[in-house]
Structure 1
């Protein structure tokens, strides 16, 4: 049986495509659906079904546009209540895609409508399971997301449902089945996913902590809930878009791909209160940018950081990009529901600068310069914007940890009466933090060139945290 995994690294997202005898199906598609249509056209196939494993939180699915463009039937599992036409399948229901079969296995726990799809080949052999966020490679789906949409669905209740789904629906299946999850390492939908994006079910039964055969319900719930961090703020908004519906991507792209002269760009920013989002790399941004811009570079985890730091997916956005990357930026914003891009600065930052309009820059400091200040007893306050787990692993001895994702709640902790420096691991996140602070009125600070990767090679004193369990 041929199953094609279509993986998008910036979201750690996997969609799936199957085709048999002129019929095709797509599972958990991304917002931009033309690649799936092109894939089916290449096979001379008609997309018959769009199967959704659940109402996704971390991205806006492309099921509605795929239905409109191909006539495909949208399929959800039991308990789903979408605000648009869709087939709500029963547990055990079988769908035919050419000579293949797709069997619905209701596996609530990540969400109550979560469904696994069992793939059966043309000879009637069970081939694999498309598990959505129920089962990952090395992990299972976090059970605390649905409660942000339906309050009575506590994480404990959902974890208990997931325990039953795994024991009663997934683990009894044959070991040879290939597990096809919706996400890989880097997704916020789990806590310790493997870098691998497929595996056999039998191997997962051996190595996945959540599939231990001797695990009690209480042990499962305890281990699953331990170490969960707060989900990104945009997740509930994406869930609602996937439940209720959304604008066509064609409409979003047409609105966002509007070239604006510097004068028109400035007028639009003033009239709409739009956020000016600069997607260039950190080094280029630091040298000069449109005043009040926020820098989130396309070269990093762009969409997830947009989702972490811009609270409202409906907030209007104006883009500054490297020329030629405007469409990419609008597309990647739309994947996580930020549909209100109003246009981009035609000609990029250079066009703005050439008009003589005001520009800003942000300070940068090398590790050698920081070492020189420290040797004279003049070291500035050091603020580490990495995750707490990174900080706990190793950090500069006197550094203060304010994770980037929490920056808006901790602005008062950034000093205004003394100089400070920022760093992350390599410079991507610290430049985001720098741009936010500049926008909010801070000036007397610098970003460390190369981040902690460079600081580790310095002679500055460091503190390393050793987890007690490593001493056993």
Structure 2
């Protein structure tokens, strides 16, 4: 509207100027007639808006086989031994101090985006927590930010200790790395999500809690593959497979409770991380 009004005013001034010229003497008229006319075109600069959904789709559709998991405890030990890997414990500082995998550094889940300078972007990184839920959220967030070198250890601290593996209480100082170039809008979205994670870490709870949520009208989303869904699913659940999540956002309500599940909780945690980064703060996952 302001631009249209400005153009009309410019037109009025041009008309008045031409009338004034016509009223002058012939020499001035001749001079004005032969004078060069300069026209200045208005230039409009368009600033591209970052497409967060497109970024999410690029990540989700490119998820490799294995769902970014290193596997069980034996596979995890072998992978660590075979590489100069960085192992990150994303539990709270108190949990880490009480006992952790030897050599692991501690970056609590909520602070991941604030500590990217402690996470290498060009060498293997493994993430773990207590049971796999927070590790899945971490892998989803870091992968969204472009850390394609990150894998999770779903068995976590519980699986590690159950296997009789040793615990360490030695504090490990993290090395410092050059943080990758990340689109500011994407970093802000992921950081806001991580910093805002409430108590309970966005878990929908156990089976009884999920049943209560269903009774209360929650939307249940199964993020397994269509074949897995067809073979059997929670009654009433809809299927939006993980890799197709960005294309299925129309099926995800924004203003009512949503519970996500998969086979073990791992894929559900990754899906939850993406949805939370996209602003779906009404979502939780069923880790079981």
TM-score over 0.5 for the pair: no
Query: Normalized per residue, which structure has more strand?
Result: 1
TM-score range, shorter chain: 0.3 to 0.5
Higher normalized helix content (fraction of residues) = 2
TM-score (norm 1): 0.26
- Larger RCO, structure (CA 8 Å, separation 6 or more): 2
